[in-house]
Amino acid sequence: MSTPSHRPPDPGSLPREEAARTHELQDLQARLRECGEALALAQAQLRQETEARRVAEGQLRHLAEHDALTGLPNRRVLELCLQQATVQAREQGRLAGVMFLDLDRFKNINDTLGHLMGDRLLQRVAERVRRSLRSGDTVARVGGDEFAVLLPGLDGPAEAARMAGQLIGEVSLPYEIDGLELRLTPSVGIAMFPGHAESAQGLLDEARAAMYQAKAQGRGGYRFFSGHDDLLSSQRLLLESDLHRAIERGEFELHFQPRYELGSGLLCACEALLRWQHPSRGSVSPVEFIPLAEETGLVVAIDEWVLGECCRQIERWTAKGLEICPISLNVSARQFRSLNLLGVLDRVLGETGVDPRLLEVEITETTLMHNTEQAVATLGQLHGLGIKISVDDFGTGYSSLAYLKRFPVDLLKIDRSFVHDLVSDPDDAVIVSAIIGLARSLQLRVVAEGVETREQVDFLRRRGCDEAQGFLFSRPLPPAQLEPLFNRRY
Beta strands 267-278 and 327-330 are parallel
Model pLDDT for residues 164-177, shown as the tens digit of each residue? 998 999 999 999 98
State the distance between the two ends of the chain, measured CA to CA, in whole angstroms.
116
| Alpha carbons 26 and 20: distance in angstroms, whole number | 10
Judged by average pLDDT, the poorest of 5-9, 90-94, 268-272 is 5-9
128 and 264 inside one domain? no
Task: Using alpha carbons only, give the angle 78, 84, 88 rounded to the nearest 5 degrees.
Answer: 140
The CA-atom distances, in angstroms, between 34 and each of 25, 30, 69 are 14, 6, 50
d(CA 210, CA 188): 7
- pLDDT confidence of residue 230: 47
Domain boundary among 227, 245, 273: 227
Statement: residue 395 has pLDDT above 70: no
Kindly tell me if the per-residue pLDDT of 13 is higher than 50.
Answer: yes
Domain that holds residue 456: 235-485
> Could you give the CA distance from residue 175 to residue 113 in angstroms, rounded to a whole number?
14
Q: Which residue has the higher pLDDT, 296 or 269?
A: 269
Query: Does residue 38 form part of some domain?
Result: no
Task: Clarify whether residues 174 and 103 are in a common domain.
Answer: yes
- Last residue of a domain, which of 194, 227, 260? 227
Residue 490: inside a domain, yes or no?
no
Which of helix, strand or coil describes residue 413? strand
Is residue 51 in some structural domain?
Answer: no
Residue 13 domain flag: no
CA distances from 144 to 74, 94, 151 (A): 12, 32, 22
Judge if 129 and 253 occupy the same domain: no
Q: What is the pLDDT of residues 294-350, one digit of tens each?
A: 877 888 889 999 999 999 999 999 999 998 899 999 998 888 877 678 888 889 999
One domain, residues 223 and 241: no
Whether 164 and 212 share a structural domain: yes
CA distance 48 to 51: 5
**What is the tally of structural domains in the chain?**
2
Q: 249 and 195, same structural domain?
A: no
In a domain, 55, yes or no: no
Q: Please indicate, yes or no, if residue 316 is contained in any of the structural domains.
A: yes
293 and 422 assigned to the same domain = yes
* Distance from C-alpha of 38 to C-alpha of 33, rounded to nearest angstrom: 8
Mean pLDDT of the chain: 83
Q: Please check whether residues 323 and 345 belong to one and the same domain.
A: yes
Identify whether residues 240 and 177 lie together within a single domain.
no
Q: Regarding predicted confidence, which is higher, 183 or 92?
A: 183
Could you give the CA distance from residue 98 to residue 207 in angstroms, rounded to a whole number? 6
Segment 179-230, tens digit of pLDDT = 888 888 899 999 988 866 667 778 888 888 888 878 777 778 888 887 644 4
What is the Cα–Cα distance from 25 to 20, expressed in whole angstroms? 9
* pLDDT digits 0-9 by tens, 407-418: 888 999 998 888
Are 419 and 462 found together in one domain?
A: yes
132-136 contacts at long range (C-beta below 8 A, 24 or more positions apart): 132/163, 132/166, 132/167, 132/170, 133/163, 133/167, 134/163
The residues that bridge with 386 in the sheet, in sequence order, are none
Give buried/exposed letters for 381-410 (b at 16+ CB in 10 A, else e): ebbeeebbbbbbbbbbbebeeeebeebebb
Residue 112 clears pLDDT 60, i.e. is over it: yes
Residue 478 is predicted with a pLDDT of 95
The stretches of 265-322 forming alpha helices (DSSP H) are 286-296, 299-319
pLDDT at 31: 82
Question: 192, 227, 262 — which closes off a domain?
Answer: 227
pLDDT at 1 over 60: no
The CATH number of the domain holding residue 239 is 3.20.20.450
In a domain, 69, yes or no: no
Judgement on whether residues 189 and 274 belong to the same structural domain of the protein:
no
Q: Which of 244-248, 455-459, 483-487 has the highest mean pLDDT?
A: 455-459
Residue of 16 and 364 predicted with greater confidence: 364
Which of 191-200, 244-253, 350-359, 417-426 is least confident?
191-200
Res. 131: pLDDT tops 70: yes
Say if residue 257's pLDDT is above 90: yes
Same domain, 217 and 167: yes
Identify the residue with better confidence: 402 or 162. Answer: 162
Instruction: Specify the amino acid at residue 378.
Output: T
Q: What CA–CA distance (Å, rounded) separates 97 from 313?
A: 40
pLDDT computed for residue 56 by the predictor: 54
CATH number at residue 165: 3.30.70.270
pLDDT value of position 232:
53
Question: Which of 380, 488, 392, 382 lies closest to 447 in space, CA to CA?
Answer: 392
Angstrom distance (rounded) from CA 108 to CA 182:
11
Residue 101 near residue 128, CB atoms below 8 Å: no
Q: What is the mean pLDDT of residues 88-102?
A: 84
Task: Say what the pLDDT of residue 244 is.
Answer: 82
Q: What is the pLDDT of residue 228?
A: 43
pLDDT at 308: 93
- What pTM, to 2 d.p., does this model score? 0.56
Residue 40 included in any domain: no
% of the chain at pLDDT higher than 90: 30
